[in-house]
Amino acid sequence: MNYSLEPIGVVHSCFSEKFAIPRQPQLAPAATGTLELFAPYNQPEALAGLEQVSHLWLLFIFHAAESGPKHLRVRPPRLGGNQRIGVFASRATHRPNPLGQSVVKLESIVDGKLLLSGIDLLDGTPVLDIKPYVPYADSLPHARNDLAPAPPAPIAVTWSPLARTQAEQQGARLHSDLLSLIEQCLAQDPKPAYQQPAPTREYGARFWDLNVRWHYPNPDSIRVIDIQLANPLA
Ligand code: SAM
């Protein structure tokens, strides 16, 4: 049996590439984006009542997940990338149907667009549905997940004086708390868990229209080197 699903909107996000996106929502509260709804869902009738809701479930498509054969077992980065578990025990993007779900904060609604924070979504993510978060049903204090018992411990993030100034200047241009965004995302340690980076090795990721470069002076901390305007994406 086949079902056909049509996106109801698309997310415009601070994350212009997959690397350095937190592995779950809420890990970077400063991660923001806008959900642009397609007609007719951008009309006030479809959104009436949402002003009474603080958080939303977004059901979306992992549109940039790697294609290729689907496997029954996956190696989640969270477990160091070397332990295999069943695909249904993981939140991996590479799964039978490329469906994702995230709880995000609804900051406001402006002209039929939803302003969101705490997102873990790549720019351009197609959204299939929105549902209000229902605390009494969706928050289960006694629920257990021994594969992911707690959020990953953050690592220290420090700044070169140049990078800090650039973050402040670019943040002002973008009207965004860029400093917190970068700190919160890099504190999740985006590099693969199995890598032991030499202090001279540089890493980079793109946030908004900016390339952010950093290195690991020691394995437990990150130092942001600089922030430059990126070339437009092809
Ligand atoms: N919270 C969602 C879930 O549980 O279904 C996503 C979890 S998934 C482990 C999070 C990762 O998905 C992010 O780190 C990012 O690299 C990746 N991602 C986010 N949006 C994506 C998209 N549209 N296509 C492919 N990968 C995406």
pLDDT digits (tens, 9 = 90+) for 27-68: 999 999 999 999 999 999 999 999 999 999 999 999 999 888
Which CATH number fits the domain that encloses residue 207? 3.30.2310.20
CA of 10 relative to ligand 1 center, distance in Å: 14
Q: Examine the domain organization and report whether 105 and 205 are in the same domain.
A: no
Q: Which helix (H) or strand (E) holds 171?
A: helix 161-174
Same domain assignment for residues 207 and 122: no
Residue nearest (by alpha carbon) to ligand 1 atom 16: 18
Whether 109 and 218 map to the same domain: the answer is no
> Are residues 131 and 15 part of one domain?
yes
CA of 161 to the centre of ligand 1 (A): 32
pLDDT tens digits, residue range 79-130?
777 889 999 999 999 999 999 999 999 999 999 999 999 999 999 999 999 9
Distance 122 CA to ligand 1 centre (A): 7
162 CA → ligand 1 middle, Å: 31
**Residue at a domain's end among 75, 106, 138:** 138
Say if residue 233's pLDDT is above 70.
no
Mean pLDDT for 146-173 is 96
Check: CB of residue 128 under 8 Å from CB of residue 8.
yes
On whether both 123 and 162 belong to a single domain, the answer is no
Residue 128 lies in a domain: yes
Segments forming the whole domain that contains residue 179: 156-229
Element (H, E) at 104: strand 99-110
Residue where a domain terminates, one of 138, 165, 192: 138
CB hemisphere CA count around 9 (13 angstroms) = 22
| Residues whose beta carbon lies within 6 Å of some atom of ligand 1 | 18, 21, 23-25, 62-65, 91, 93, 100-102, 120-122, 125
CATH number for the domain that contains residue 130: 2.40.30.70
Domain count for the chain, please give it.
2
* pTM value > 0.85: yes
Rounded distance between C-alpha atoms, residue 196 and residue 188, angstroms: 16
Most ligand 1 atoms within 8 A of CB, residue of 13, 21, 55, 88 to mutate: 21
Does residue 128 sit in the same domain as residue 181? no
Give residue 234's pLDDT: 58
For ligand 1, the distance from its centroid to the CA atom of residue 165, given in whole angstroms, is 30
The closest-lying atom of ligand 1 relative to the alpha carbon of residue 90 is 9
